[in-house]
Structure 1
Amino acid sequence: MSGQGRHALRHPPRRHWLLLLLILPIVAASLLFEGWTTHEVDGSRTRQACTRPIPRSADNGDPVLRVTGAGTAETAQMPFRTAALTFDGGPDPVWTPRLLDLLRAHHAHATFFLYGTQAARHPDLVRRIHEAGHEIGSYTYTGGDLGSASALRARWELSLTRTALAGAAGVTTRLLRLPHTTTADTLCGAEWTAAQHASDQGYLLVAATPSTRRPPLGVVRQYSQTALGYQEAEKLLTDPEVGRFTTVTDGLERPSLVTPASLLERIQGSALIRIQSLGHTFARAMTWALGIAGALGILRLVVVAFLARVHVRRRHRHRSGAPWLRKVTDPVTVLVPAYNEEAGIGATVRSLLASTHRDLQILVIDDGSTDRTAEIARGLGDPRVTVVQQPNSGKPNALGTGLRYARHEIIVVVDADTVFEPDALHQLIQPLADPTIGAVSGNTKVGNRGGLLGRWQHLEYVLGFNLDRRMFEVLECMPTVPGAIGAFRRDALTAIGGISDDTLAEDTDLTMALWRAGRRAVYEERAVAWTEVPSSFRQLWRQRYRWCYGTLQSMWKHRHALIEVGPAGRFGRRGLTYLALFQIVLPLFAPVVDVFALYGLCFGDTPQALGVWLGFLAVQMATAAYALRLDHERLGVLWALPLQLFFYRQLLYLVVIQSVVTALLGTRLTWHRMHRSGTADQHLLGEPVPHPSTLSSK
């Protein structure tokens, strides 16, 4: 059913797709950068074993050197009674301030070799180090071993540190200490090659003096920015054999290698600090989000399955010991709104005529069709069938027209692509014996489920719709009685002013309005109807886009139910909260969480990530199997569920994203008509659906 109604004002926006295409790469880049800084991407965690010693010219115990060739180096050491204190790592928010206070108390200066990533994280400490007159050196960006790092990583370890220091304190440095090294002789094997490359870029390499060399001889001492480093530095600062504590370049009486950064370097550094902060914050947030989303997903599946079981037990007790107040045999008016439905209208009406409930008025409301819809319906030649034609004005108005022609107090609404089983009508109206019930949802099954897309939708209908409806009935908060098969009390419809065209999901709007009027909506799983679902991704997108956008409109329209009392309040606080949390909020974050999960699988703890995903899949498979069993469906279709998680679910997430953005932009949508092929009555797995040729045409 389709039409052009009040929502046909302009086309949905497209610019936000560009925004999404920008956001996801940014998210991916942020995660990759965070993984790079933690050595999960292009890692260089461990040092390679030395295959050759350092050149003889450098192997003299001097701690400061500049490599001048493949096998040559210039070295230097501290003067007599001079100690250069050097601290590696950090800046650390706990121990760096304590070290600075210790040095100030002894009127001493030192050289701090900083991680670029820590400098970007704590720029205030870098500025404090510089402003106190201490010297700053590079300890690479992440502390990766440059001897085992790729050429790209080695370059970035140095250049990013320069950029981070420029952004943090407005300085650059040409002092470097290679991580995982101590004295000069540890610059062996691949480390010597890394040292040579660093020297080619203008760096002066600083190692440590061997521990056998002690004051009053000049020394370069290497400490960490930890409690142990603090204790060792404090001990040296009280050594009477040392006459002077200073920085590396000052001790060598050389010009400082720490120089002011250019304006461009400071701008780049500030940008790097912001990007790293964003990436770190995002990674931490996504770690929590992934855990919360996974827990909520598991919780939802468990709760839905549990409440579905409660629903089954209630219905079993109800049918065996306390049936409905009376058996409903009242006459029924069936409304079939139709717009260009010639492919399926004949099968739909014939299935209704074949119903075991014989007292029927079937109204086919032809909403301005341009095909043979009205002709086919009239050609059935049954006096119970009446065709009403009107100009195209949309499904809600077509249903309103039908209500005006309806003769009976029980109204059943049927989509023109739906085929009823013979006892579906009878089962559907039985709950209406309870006067507090205003609407009944039937059990919609997918008829054209032969292909992979059809199987995915079949699983969604069973697991995502029908199982949920059992839960909603137990919680008394069913948000939608579907337009494909739903029964209503006419007086309930009249009490809410009929069927509104305020939203694109008139069935959801209608159901919510009934709750707010104090009427309950329940689910009757025995009332089975077979519907035709989209056979292409384009048709599926249009259908779900309209559904999702219409649901958002309905939720906003009935938001005041959250603070109301009675059935309206129960529906608002349970149903609207559930929809907002599980069908809007989580899908909005799902693509980002999926990117993070993929990142963890590729670069993080792969066995753990794979185990978590398989565990989630196992729970979902078990829940799906239970749902299929409750719906008396075969379990063979479960093989398609893992593929559904990879592809089909992503499409539905994008539908939610586009719907939310469209709603925020205030854009009205047009009705999107699905192309019908009349396949709602296909056979599936040897279980035939009533075929038009076998149905009565009286």
Structure 2
Amino acid sequence: MRAEHPPVPTLIRTPKVSTLVAAWNEGSQIEAHLRSFLELTYPDIELILCAGGTDETYVRALRYAGPHVTVIEQQPGEGKQRALARCLEYATGEIVYLTDADCLFDDEALTRLLAPLVNEGEQVATGSSRLLDEQMEQILPRHLWAAEMVSDAHRSTISDGLLGRNAALTRNAIAHIGGLNYQAPTGTDYQLAKRLLQIGLTIRFVRESVVSTGYPETFITYQRKQSRWLRNLLIYGPVYEAWKDVAATRRTLAIGLGMLLLPVVGLRLRPVLLLWFLLLSHGMLARLRYASFSTRLSGHPVPAMLFAAIPALTMADVVVWSMPLLDLIDSARRSRW
């Protein structure tokens, strides 16, 4: 049975919203992103886009510059955090909306996300995301989305983090953390959330606010994204005294490394090999449940080939969980995006 969402709330007012987006080498997605923005019906919204790269992202974005779209050029090596800080300099809205260049804007998602700020006086809200329609039949994206849906289903309405591709906060909140001009080679979303929490703000999680975005389609893309996220928790968690995040990340790394080493030990100790097989089977069954859950919740059937790929996907997760250890050892890869 597909999950039923509560009715879309009616905003008691429509304050100006400034959307900030950093786009680097997003040439294949940037025009769809911009078209979806221009299709929004929210009456007072602007987009400030800092675009650059080697694939004509900036040139393509310039075609859409106009009264509601400001395009500035992102320089090589500038990074996402500095790009967003530059966008903020052009923003004139009371509320700042953060999303990514591979996301599609959606009226319902935006309204649901703004409601806690506009109607209830909250300062920060974050939502969720879904696959692009064209990815629904792709195995790896669907696998990753299923796991994300299970995680979101267990989240409360109060969050300890925010999703950088679907988050809104007031200008006052940004001012109270000193703006966006802080160092964040990676972990832009994580550091922003922790800074907001440090000054006593609450982050509302609005599970019904869902934007469409591109999920990793290759193992390499998935590995780099997940490694970056886990590294962020280990590097910046201690800075913000987020010890629960650090402990959870260490457990994830230990599970990944352990599942890779157990078969080697099992070559000499058969009981260890049996233990590894039981743990792997448990992981595969969990992923089968995730896939079934995602079908019930979204109403989109899982592609049949995903079930056949569960063993490979489970091992892929194991490998990905262990890779941040190598990235942390290599200083050149530690802050790689």
Is TM more than 0.5 here?
A: yes
State the partner residue of 1:486: 167
Of the candidates 576, 589, 592, which is equivalent to residue 255 of structure 2?
589
> How do 1:136-147 and structure 2 match up within 5 A?
none
Q: CA deviation at 1:520?
A: 1.8
> What is aligned with 2:146?
462
Q: Tell me the CA shift for residue 333 of structure 1.
A: 0.8
1:382 Cα deviation after fit: 4.1
Structure 1 residue 407: deviation in Å? Answer: 0.3
1:543 aligns with 2:210: no
Query: CA 1:347–1:505 in 2, change beyond 3 Å: closer, same or farther?
Result: same
In the superposition, relative to structure 1, how do residues 401 and 606 fare at CA in structure 2: closer, same or farther (>3 Å)? closer
What aligned pairs does 1:499-578 form with structure 2 within 5 A after superposition? 499=180, 500-559=182-241, 572=242, 576-577=243-244
Distance in 2 between the 1:594 and 1:541 partners? 16
Q: Distance in 2 between matches of 1:381 and 1:470?
A: 38
Match of 1:384 in 2: 68
Partner-residue secondary structure (3-state), 1:338: strand
Matched residue, 2:127: 441
Could you tell me which amino acid in structure 2 is paired with residue 506 of structure 1?
T
Pairing partner for 1:643 from 302, 309, 312? 309
Contact 1:439 1:489 in 2 (8 A): no
Is the contact made by 1:444 and 1:484 (CA closer than 8 Å) also made in structure 2? no
Unaligned runs of 5+ in 1: 1-311, 560-571, 673-698
Q: Distance in 2 between matches of 1:394 and 1:611?
A: 43
Count the aligned residue pairs: 330
What's the offset of the Cα at 1:582? 4.1
Give, in angstroms, the shift of residue 604 of structure 1: 5.0
SS class of match (1:423) = helix
Q: Write the mapping of 1:50-449 to structure 2, written as runs, cut at 5 A.
A: 327=12, 329-366=14-51, 368-380=52-64, 382-392=66-76, 393-433=78-118, 434-449=120-135
TM-score when normalising by structure 2: 0.81
- The offset of 1:648, in angstroms, is 3.3
Q: Give the gaps of 5 or more residues in structure 2.
A: none
- Distance in 2, matches of 1:379 and 1:593, equals 50
Report if the CA contact (8 A) 1:448-1:532 is conserved.
no
* 1-structure distance, mates of 2:177, 2:92: 19
* Residue 516 (structure 1) shift: 1.6
CA distance 1:472–1:648, shift in 2 (3 Å):
same
Show CA shifts across 1:664-684 (max 9, x none): 666564544xxxxxxxxxxxx
The answer to whether the Cα contact below 8 Å between 1:447 and 1:533 also exists between their aligned partners in 2 is no
- C-alpha deviation, 1:339, in angstroms: 1.7
Cα shift at 1:410: 0.9
Identity %: 21
Distance in 2 of aligned mates of 1:671 and 1:510:
19
Q: CA deviation at 1:401?
A: 0.5
Query: CA, structure 1 residues 610+658, in 2 after alignment: closer, same or farther (shift >3 Å)?
Result: closer
Give a deviation string over 1:29-78, Cα, whole Å, max 9, x none.
xxxxxxxxxxxxxxxxxxxxxxxxxxxxxxxxxxxxxxxxxxxxxxxxxx
Taking a change above 3 Å as real, the CA distance of residues 588 and 394 of structure 1, as seen in their structure-2 partners, is same
Q: Which of the pair has more CA radius of gyration? A: 1
The root-mean-square deviation of aligned C-alpha atoms, in Å, is 3.5
- Counterpart CA distance in 2 for 1:544 and 1:616 is 18
Deviation at 1:661, TM superposition (A): 4.6
Tell me the secondary structure at the aligned position of residue 540 of structure 1.
helix
Aligned CA distance change for structure 1 residues 382 and 462 (closer, same or farther; 3 Å): farther
Distance change (3 Å), C-alpha of 1:620 and 1:462: closer
* 8 A Cα contact 1:444 1:528, kept in partner: yes
Question: Does the 8 Å contact 1:414/1:484 carry over to 2?
Answer: yes
- Inter-CA distance 593–389: structure 2 relative to 1 (3 Å threshold): closer
- 8 A Cα contact 2:226 2:320, kept in partner: yes
Structure with more relative contact order (C-alpha pairs < 8 Å, separation 6 or more): 2
